[in-house]
C-alpha cells in the first residue's frame, strides 16, 4: 500500500523568499511524480511533474526527484503572495498504467507581503 507524506504541514514565508516543500513515498516502483496547487475554494491544478531522477525547472518552480531516497521536492524561487495555497504531491506507478494516483495531505503555504 503506497504511503505519501508531505512536510511541513504548513509554512509561512516572506515575499521574495525561497520555499521548499517535501514529499516522501513508500513504494519504490513509483515512476511518476507531480505537484498540484490548490488555491482556497478552488480546484487543484497541476504545476509540474517528473519521471526521471534529477531536476526540472519551469519559471520560478523547480522539482527535484531522488528515487533512491523515495523523496521529491518542490522549490519556489522569489515566492509571491499569489503562491499562497495548498500544495499537494502525487505519485503514480507503472503497474496501474499510471491510472491510480496517491496524493499527500498537503502543505499549506502562506506568503506574507
The residues that touch another protein, with contacts defined as CB under 8 A, are: 1, 6, 32, 34, 36, 42-46, 49, 86, 88, 92, 97-106, 108
- Joined grid coordinates for residue 76: 519556489
CB of 56 to another protein, least distance (A): 14
Which is nearer to another protein, 61 or 101 (by Cβ)?
101
Q: Is the peptide bond before 8 cis (omega within 30 degrees of 0)?
A: yes
Which is nearer to another protein, 75 or 101 (by Cβ)?
101
Contacts 24+ apart (CB under 8 A), 58-67: 61/35, 63/33, 63/35, 65/33, 67/28, 67/30
Q: How far apart are CA 45 and CA 27, in angstroms?
A: 24
- Joined grid coordinates for residue 44: 487543484
The position carrying cell 499527500 is: 104
CB of 16 to another protein, least distance (A): 26
CB of 100 to another protein, least distance (A): 7
Which is nearer to another protein, 16 or 98 (by Cβ)?
98
Which is nearer to another protein, 1 or 69 (by Cβ)?
1
Amino acid at each position: 500500500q503506497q504511503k505519501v507524506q508531505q512536510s511541513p504541514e504548513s509554512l509561512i514565508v516572506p515575499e521574495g523568499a525561497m520555499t521548499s516543500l517535501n514529499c516522501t513515498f513508500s513504494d519504490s516502483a513509483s515512476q511518476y511524480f507531480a505537484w498540484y496547487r490548490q488555491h482556497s475554494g478552488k480546484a487543484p491544478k497541476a504545476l509540474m511533474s517528473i519521471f526521471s531522477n534529477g531536476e526540472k525547472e519551469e519559471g520560478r518552480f523547480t522539482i527535484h526527484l531522488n528515487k533512491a531516497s523515495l523523496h521529491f521536492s518542490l522549490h519556489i524561487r522569489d515566492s509571491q503572495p499569489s503562491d499562497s495555497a495548498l500544495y499537494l504531491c502525487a505519485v503514480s506507478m507503472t503497474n496501474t498504467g499510471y491510472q491510480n494516483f496517491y496524493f499527500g495531505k498537503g502543505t499549506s503555504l502562506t506568503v506574507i507581503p
